[in-house]
């Protein structure tokens, strides 16, 4: 991502108190409220769960309108998106790609979510590694992705 694009500061770590983490032997697991199960705690999963908590606690999206790691076909290949926000009718509204905090957000990240969107066709793309976050609103008529200064409230769409 270029330095001229406004980065959104979310303070995701402040939401850590909302996470449910348990230890089973040597493995740590984190509760996913969307999938309603414990998932292995990896750095990327931590960012995904913090982002879910952000959406829920800031009133950006309702739990019932989120889906996590569902399979899609992208140019004939099976892929899994990280997180999606659905509209009131269940259609795809926003696609979110998360990376571990030590993975920089680059053009490669944007290319990945753009390829996924060719199969899904949402109006919003969001990428985050928990430290940096960028939000784009797609203008299909103009063929543009407009960077946004904040993440919108998706509840009314």
Domain presence at residue 48:
yes
Cα distance between residue 140 and residue 96, in whole Å: 18
2 is a domain residue = no
Considering only CA atoms, which of 31, 71, 72 is closest in space to residue 52? Answer: 31
* CATH number for position 132: 3.90.1570
Domain count of the fold of the chain? 1
**pTM check: above 0.85:** yes
Per-residue tens of pLDDT for the chain, all 157 residues: 555 667 788 888 889 999 999 998 899 999 999 999 999 999 999 999 999 999 999 999 999 999 999 999 888 899 999 999 999 999 999 999 999 999 999 999 999 999 999 899 999 999 999 999 999 999 887 878 899 999 999 988 7
Look at residue 78 and tell me if it is in a domain.
yes
Domain enclosing residue 71, as ranges: 12-148
In a domain, 57, yes or no: yes
């Amino acid at each position: 991502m270029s330095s001229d694009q406004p980065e959104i500061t979310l303070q995701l770590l402040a939401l850590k108190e909302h996470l449910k983490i348990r230890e089973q032997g040597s493995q740590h697991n984190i509760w996913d409220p969307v999938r309603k199960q414990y998932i292995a705690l990896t750095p990327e999963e931590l960012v995904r769960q913090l982002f879910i908590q952000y959406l829920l606690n800031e009133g950006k999206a309702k739990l019932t309108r989120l889906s996590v790691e569902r399979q899609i076909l992208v140019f004939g290949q099976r892929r899994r998106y990280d997180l999606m926000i659905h509209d009131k009718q269940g259609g795809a509204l926003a696609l979110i790609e998360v990376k571990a905090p030590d993975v920089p957000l680059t053009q490669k990240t944007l290319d990945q979510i753009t390829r996924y969107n060719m199969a899904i066709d949402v109006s919003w793309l969001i990428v985050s590694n928990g430290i940096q976050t960028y939000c784009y609103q797609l203008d299909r008529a103009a063929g543009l992705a407009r960077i946004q200064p904040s993440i919108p409230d998706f509840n009314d769409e």
